[in-house]
Amino acid sequence: MKYGSAFFLVLLTLFLSGFDFTKHTIPTDEIQSGGPPKDGIPALLNPKFVPAKTADFVKKEDRVLGLFINGEAKAYPIKIMNWHEIVNDSVGGKPVMVSYCPLCGTGMAFDPMISGKKHIFGVSGLLYKSDVLMYDHETESLWSQIKQEAVTGAMTGTRLKMLTLSHTTWEGWKKKHPETKVLSTETGYQRNYYRDPYADYAISDQLMFPVGKLDDRYSPKSWVLGVQYKGKTKAYAFSELKNAPRRFTDRLGSEEIKIVYEAEYRTTQVFDSSGKEIPSVVSYWFAWSAFHPETEIFSPTPQKK
C-alpha cells in the first residue's frame, strides 16, 4: 500500500509533538502543526496586572477579554493574548484559565479545577480545525478549546466548565468595571505587544489551515455570537444583530433565552429565562460552523420560503 506525502507529514507532526495519541476522540489525521512547537507560544503562568488608571498601553478601541468573579474584574488585552494564547490565573479567589485563538477569534475562559485538582495549561503548537489545542501539564492530554474537552491522552472525553467572559472593547469593559485590573505587558517575554501579527489575516476571507467544508451562509470571517445551551446551538451574526433590538427574547430549542447586543462595543450577553447569564462565545463564523455544523441561524425577520 502506498501512502501520500501528506499522510507521512501528519505522522511526522504527531511523532515530533511528543504527545500520546493512543486515545483520541478526533481524527488524528486532522491534527496539524500550527508552526511553533510545544510551548513555542508561551502560556502565562504567573501573570502580572496593573490598575486601569495606569494601563495606558491599552487604547479605548482595543479588544479585551473580561472576567468578573466574586467582585473582582480583570481584563486580558487581545494584543497580549495574541502572543501567549493562554493565561493561568485566578479571579475573585477562583482559579481560571483564559484562552484565545487568534485564528478563530475565540476568547474562552474555563475552570481549571478537574476532579478536585487544579490543572495548568499550555499551548501545544497543534491545531484542530484551525483551533488551538491546549495541553495540561499534569497529564499532557490535548484539549480542544471550542469543543471544550480533552481529545487525546489520559483525560480524553473529559469536559471543561466554560466560564462567562466578555469579548469587548477596553472602553466598554472599563465603563462597566472602572476598578478592573489589566494584564500587564511585563510578562517576562520579549514581544512587541503593539504589533498585531494577525492584522492581515483578520481582514481576509482566506484561512491558514483547512477546516473541512465551509458553510457559505456567511463569509468565513464574519463575527458571530455562538450559543450552546441544553444540547442546542445557535449562531447570531453581528450583521443580523444590528437589525434587531438591543435587547430581545429568542428561543433555542424549547428554551427561552435573552440576548443583549451592544453595537458600540461589539459585545453580547446571553441570559436564561431566570435571568442567569449563560456562557457564550464570540468567534469567526467559519470556526463556529466547523465545530457546530448543526447550528441554528438567527434572523431578526421571518425567512422567506
Q: Which residues share a beta bridge with 206?
A: none
* pLDDT digits 0-9 by tens, 243-283: 999 999 999 999 999 999 999 999 999 999 999 999 999 99
For residue 288, give the amino acid letter: W
Cβ(255)–Cβ(272) below 8 Å: yes
Between CA 245 and CA 135 the distance in angstroms is 40
pLDDT of residue 243: 92
Calculate mean pLDDT across residues 214-239: 97
User: CA 136 from chain center: how many Å?
Assistant: 17
For residue 276, give the amino acid letter: K
pLDDT of residue 301: 65
pLDDT of residue 18: 75
Calculate mean pLDDT across residues 173-197: 97
Percent of the chain surpassing pLDDT 90: 92
User: Which of 1-15, 110-124, 160-174 shows the lowest mean pLDDT across its residues?
Assistant: 1-15
Residue with cell 443580523: 240
Q: How many CA atoms lie within 13 A of 174 on its CB side?
A: 19
Calculate mean pLDDT across residues 67-79: 98
Whether the per-residue pLDDT at 7 is higher than 50: the answer is no
Secondary structure (DSSP) of 43-86: PBSS--EEEGGG-TTS-TT-EEEEEEETTEEEEEEHHHHHHH-E
Q: Calculate the average pLDDT of the chain.
A: 93
pLDDT of residue 74: 98
Instruction: Say what the pTM is.
Output: 0.93
pLDDT band, residue 2 (cuts 50/70/90): very low
Domains of the chain (ranges; CATH) run 19-183 (2.102.10), 217-297 (no CATH)
Q: Is 5 exposed, middle or buried (0-12, 13-18, 19+ CB in 10 A)?
A: exposed
User: CA 118 from chain center: how many Å?
Assistant: 20
Side by side, which strands form the sheet with 131-136? 31-33, 121-128, 131-136, 142-144, 149-152
What is the pairing mode between strands 72-77 and 149-152?
unpaired
Secondary structure (DSSP) of 132-198: EEEEETTT--EEETTTTEEEESTTTTPBPEEEP-EEEEHHHHHHH-TT-EEE-S-SSS---TTS-TT
pLDDT of residue 189: 97
Count CB-CB contacts under 10 A for residue 251.
11
* pLDDT digits 0-9 by tens, 201-213: 999 999 999 999 9
